[in-house]
């Protein structure tokens, strides 16, 4: 299906009115890397820059979806419109694998002011680093006050996704592997707030102590925000009010220091850079396709080193 500017305008107009089906179509276009993305983003731009984005990351099994559901409940009680974007970098079942999360969220299934969506990004040029901010722009245009981005795991891609958030929550749980393993994944650097979920289990206090030490060790130089550790039992909705209070305190602090804007500019910069690099990459693939496999074969046999090969590719582009 080829989209023209009028198709895009019609859907964006419906999105602005809060039509969930239109928002669903828009995010599908983003997910499937529609060739109309430049037009779509141009049409969306004037309606963006408002929603508060909360990133939610942590290893499988720590309770991210349950925590997201619980956050949605409290934010709804405040009267906010809330979106949830579950980001899945490489699922072979694009969407299907996240059915479980959707089911867990069915508490909010009939609420027009809640929109829950999973997104896979196989084949999206620029990957998650580009698709996530695009989807957030769609939620933003649909006038959601808060959008929770839930990422799967804590690899490099998830860290990139977390960096697109205004406020990043890092979830841990007792008995899921020790704090040293948490540190390995680089999450200490990205967490604005740490959440020890399942805090009614054995080992919660030990995890908090270890985490506190590691946060202190990981801090480099003076910081105007010391990441707090909040204890929750999300499936019983315990600690969620404390968590949102910490989020509010963080936002206030970020606004006061001007860091909130700086972070949004950095986010936009990464997005622009990713798109620019994807363009360069596409150009390079188009021009270098035939020669590249030949060069790679020489490199794989040790007859050429990869830097010399890359030089040939870049100069020959």
How far apart (Å, rounded) are the C-alpha atoms in residues 68 and 306?
45
| Closer by beta carbon to its own copies, 148 or else 162 | 162
CB of 120 vs its own copies, minimal distance in Å? 9
Please list, in sequence order, all residues whose beta carbon lies within 8 angstroms of the beta carbon of residue 277, skipping any fewer than 6 positions away: 126
Please list, in sequence order, all residues whose beta carbon lies within 8 angstroms of the beta carbon of residue 202, skipping any fewer than 6 positions away: 174, 175
| Closer by beta carbon to its own copies, 202 or else 261 | 261
CB 195 within 8 A of CB 243: yes
How far apart (Å, rounded) are the C-alpha atoms in residues 107 and 89?
26
115: enclosing H helix or E strand: strand 114-120
CB of 316 vs its own copies, minimal distance in Å? 10
CB of 76 vs its own copies, minimal distance in Å? 26
CB of 245 vs its own copies, minimal distance in Å? 27
| Closer by beta carbon to its own copies, 107 or else 261 | 261
CB of 259 vs its own copies, minimal distance in Å? 13
Residue in this structure with the two tokens 């740490």, named with its chain if needed: 194
| Closer by beta carbon to its own copies, 76 or else 313 | 313
CB of 182 vs its own copies, minimal distance in Å? 8
| Closer by beta carbon to its own copies, 78 or else 294 | 294
| Closer by beta carbon to its own copies, 148 or else 185 | 185
Residue in this structure with the two tokens 């799967």, named with its chain if needed: 152
CB 259 within 8 A of CB 265: no
CB of 104 vs its own copies, minimal distance in Å? 12
How far apart (Å, rounded) are the C-alpha atoms in residues 112 and 18?
9
| Closer by beta carbon to its own copies, 73 or else 260 | 260
CA dist 39 → 12, 42, 96, 154, 236 (Å): 11, 5, 29, 32, 44
CB of 109 vs its own copies, minimal distance in Å? 20
156: enclosing H helix or E strand: helix 156-162
Q: Which long-range contacts (CB under 8 A, 24 or more apart) does 157-160 make?
A: 157/89, 157/127, 157/128, 157/129, 158/57, 158/87, 158/89, 159/57, 159/186, 159/187, 159/190, 160/128, 160/129, 160/270
| Closer by beta carbon to its own copies, 97 or else 242 | 97
Three-class SS state of 106: helix
């Amino acid at each position: 299906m080829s989209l023209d500017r009028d198709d895009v305008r019609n859907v964006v107009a419906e999105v602005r009115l809060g039509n969930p089906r239109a928002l669903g179509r828009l995010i599908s276009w983003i997910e499937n890397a529609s060739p109309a993305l430049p037009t779509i983003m141009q049409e969306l731009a004037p309606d963006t820059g408002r929603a508060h984005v909360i990133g939610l990351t942590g290893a499988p099994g720590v309770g991210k979806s349950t925590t997201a559901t619980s956050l949605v409940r409290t934010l709804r009680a405040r009267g906010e419109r809330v979106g949830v974007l579950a980001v899945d970098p490489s699922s072979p079942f694009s969407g299907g694998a996240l059915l479980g999360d959707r089911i867990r969220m069915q508490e909010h299934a009939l609420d027009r002011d809640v929109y829950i969506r999973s997104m896979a990004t196989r084949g999206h040029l620029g990957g998650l680093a580009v698709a996530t901010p695009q989807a957030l722009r769609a939620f933003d245009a649909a006038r959601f006050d808060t959008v929770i981005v839930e990422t799967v795991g804590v690899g490099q891609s998830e860290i990139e996704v977390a960096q697109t958030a205004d406020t990043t929550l890092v979830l841990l749980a007792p008995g899921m592997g020790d704090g040293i393993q948490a540190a390995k994944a680089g999450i200490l650097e990205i967490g604005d707030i740490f959440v020890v979920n399942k805090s009614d289990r054995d080992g919660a206090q030990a995890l908090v102590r270890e985490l506190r030490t590691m946060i202190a060790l990981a801090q480099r130089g003076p910081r105007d925000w010391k990441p707090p550790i909040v204890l929750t039992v999300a499936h019983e909705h315990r600690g969620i009010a404390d968590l949102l209070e910490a989020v509010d305190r963080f936002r206030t602090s970020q606004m006061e220091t001007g860091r909130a804007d700086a972070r949004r500019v950095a986010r936009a910069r990464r997005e622009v850079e990713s798109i620019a690099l994807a363009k360069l990459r596409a150009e390079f693939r188009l021009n270098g396709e035939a020669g590249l496999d030949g060069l790679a074969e020489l490199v794989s046999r040790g007859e050429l080193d990869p830097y010399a090969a890359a030089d040939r590719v870049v100069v020959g582009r």
